[in-house]
Amino acid sequence: MAERYVPAAGSPAFTRLYDTVVALTMREATFRGRLRAQVLDGLAPGAAVVDVGTGTGTLAIALAAAGSEVIGVDGDPEVLALAHAKPGADAVQWRKGLATALPLPGAGADRVVMSLLLHHLDPAGKRTALAEAVRVLRPGGRLHVADWGRPRDPLMRAAARVLTRVDDAEGLREHLEGAVPVLLADAGFVAVAVHDRLRTGWGSLELLSALRP
């Protein structure tokens, strides 16, 4: 069976609208700014960062502008073309590849970032992608995840119900059950922490980190 692949916007028809939708509905400046700060915390200039599921490259370009050596990986050539066209894109190494089979050597990255990626994967795919993050990180390196979490009030539950109708319900199930920290721990990460929970138009967005021992 061919591996299931879901583009950043959920459907190829919406790829060119992705940046606009994220900006209008997801408090993009807030969540990407906080995620960027968390990734860069304690990171030496020139350290290696891998942005898995880089999408249109907004975060990868921002991390590269701060002095990191950034590799942006995505399986969608159309979305990578949009990333290439953005100001600052020349500072990023762009590679076509899947989260479940990263085109990278082992133990070479100081940080791995998965922003709005994991919920696109089925349960087996999530676990394979997290195993790949363990593989490419150096011991002591950190994984940073920005993705959907368990809604904690009626408004966020209503928003999450809408999300399951427009996105993949199977991929979202563990997220909406609050299971992402458990997935990270089960993959072998330690010091799993939820740093932020942001209310958005689609539900509760969580920013997490975990350490590769």
Domains and CATH numbers, the chain: 26-211 (3.40.50.150)
C-alpha–C-alpha distance, residues 213 and 210, integer Å = 9
Find the range with the poorest average confidence among 27-31, 45-49, 98-102.
Answer: 27-31
pLDDT digits (tens, 9 = 90+) for 131-156: 999 999 999 999 999 999 999 999 99
What is the tens place of the pLDDT at every residue in 167-197?
Answer: 888 999 999 999 999 999 999 999 999 999 9
Is 70 within 8 Å of 92 (Cβ atoms)? Answer: yes
How many C-beta atoms surround the C-beta of residue 17 within 10 A? 12
Percent of the chain with pLDDT over 90: 85
Instruction: Give the separation between CA 113 and CA 175, rounded to whole angstroms.
Output: 17
Q: What is the predicted pLDDT for the residue at 17?
A: 65
Which pTM value belongs to this model?
Answer: 0.90
| Residue range 118-125: mean pLDDT, rounded | 96
Mean pLDDT within 84-103: 97
**What is the amino acid identity at position 132?**
E
Classify strands 137-148 and 109-115 as parallel, antiparallel or unpaired.
parallel
CA atoms 52, 57, 62, 65: torsion sign: positive
E strands in the chain: 48-52, 69-74, 92-96, 109-115, 137-148, 190-200, 203-211
